[in-house]
A and B are shown apart, each in its own frame.
Chain A
């Protein structure tokens, strides 16, 4: 089964993870720009991070036949450092214009502060300018209210639902989203969020249309093979291959394909290829 993991933070993962993902069937991914676990203190740190998302990571991924794409944004946590946020927002248009940048994201709310409102709203405008979809995650705390507020803000700025990918959903937020026309994404985590069993139940209740499943693997406890585990759980529950493929391939391709910047054919990589002179291989000679 060909798998597209539409939300995975590979910067935090090893090259061995790329290899295991490829073995599990992953041939395409989207890596959203996000929080790195501790606050950055200068715009240069953001710029270097964005540069790795459009440069080094696609190179690493391509070694294993994985087509790497990314989304670029200022995340809500760091939006609260308003001086820095202003500087980051200023450089974002350049980075949103790069090849294989398929959405503005991940944005949304963390603590639902006025500064987060400002950054969210400014980035909705940037998405419209750059002609890109948006990846918006629902907040960890006060999730249901945060989801409603997210939808309100998108609607206020006339951002099209079919270009909105709403992530980190659960059994309650999906109820709110089901009739909105937004894409509904689910992050499958080992402990928190949704697991494979609950995901199958959600798909049984709501169907496969506009549904996305991702590992959201990052620097925390997480599992970059979760999408393939959902595939196995769906097979066990009796979903057809077509239905499974809709969720783990067709839907992410359709959602992010709206950017016009998916490049799903990875050129064959020479074993000794390098990125700007650097290699991930540890070979002698």
Chain B
């Protein structure tokens, strides 16, 4: 696993996590999964304890812990605890772990959606909640393959706009560029125009979205900003356009 790719099944997560645990953590973790297997409600007190039991660092050796798209050890641990919950009890327990969770726990629930089976309805509820926050960790975790799979085109477009507002690298979002519609390309170009008119910078990753369906009229409007009498606007336009691949 590189830090760019998310694991997609429990066996893969187990292998990665197991490689990072010491004997104490491994024993705690094995016992916890057994307890949850016997009694799904045990997840309620074990789930919050994961960070201090299995650690908080990046899951992949050498991963960047500050990168919001990177899986952490506790994300993996939490996903595996939820995978151990009986499928009948899982939607309720998973939702409650999210509701009662702090940001790390919520991120763990969102990451678990990549590796455990839950109804789309539950996934959609949690992804919608995460996308309403301004917490980059949660927004990034909601925009993995399982999260974006439950978003329709409008929802996906709103999510990508949210992501650019909280400064996430758009190219890391699952479904970019394949799911970009002409409407989303247009919205992103309008976003760039608005920022340029304010004399502000835009991240280079906007172009991946815009150039999926380049909107000629919007691009011409941004291009025209190069010659704007306000030097801040002209400079912002030049910087934005020069970053276009």
Contacts and interface: CB of A to CB of B under 8 A. Distances in A.
B135 A47 contact: no
B45 interface: yes
A98 B134 contact: no
A237 to B, nearest CB: 40
A229 interface: no
Contacts, number: 43
Interface string B111-131: 000000000000000000000
Interface stretch (A88-96, A165-173, A219-227): A88-96
Contact of B100 (A47, A130, A261, A276): A47
B52 to A, nearest CB: 6
A99 B133 contact: no
Interface string B84-100: 00000000000010011
B159 to A, nearest CB: 16
Chain A, interface size: which category? 10 to 19
Contacts of B46: 97
Contacts of B208: none
A68 to B, nearest CB: 13
B102 A55 contact: yes
Contacts of A276: 103, 133-135, 138
B192 interface: no
A94 B51 contact: no
Contacts of B11: none
Given A97-B48, A130-B45, A55 B103 contact: yes
Contacts of A54: 102
B49 interface: yes
Contacts of B45: 93-94, 96-97, 130
Contacts of B133: 276-277
Contacts of A91: 100
Contacts of B134: 274, 276-278
B136 A277 contact: yes
B48 A277 contact: no
A51 interface: yes
B44 interface: yes
A95 B100 contact: yes
A87 to B, nearest CB: 13
B166 interface: yes
Interface string A243-285: 0000000000000000001000000000000101110000000
B52 A93 contact: no
Contacts of A130: 45
Given A91-B100, A98-B48, 7 more contacts: A94-B48, A97-B46, A97-B47, A99-B51, A130-B45, A261-B52, A276-B134
19 contacts: A47-B99, A55-B103, A94-B44, A94-B45, A94-B100, A96-B45, A97-B44, A97-B45, A97-B46, A97-B49, A99-B48, A99-B52, A130-B45, A274-B134, A276-B133, A277-B133, A277-B134, A277-B136, A277-B166
Closest 9 CB pairs of A and B: A277-B134, A276-B135, A97-B48, A97-B45, A98-B48, A94-B44, A94-B100, A93-B45, A277-B135
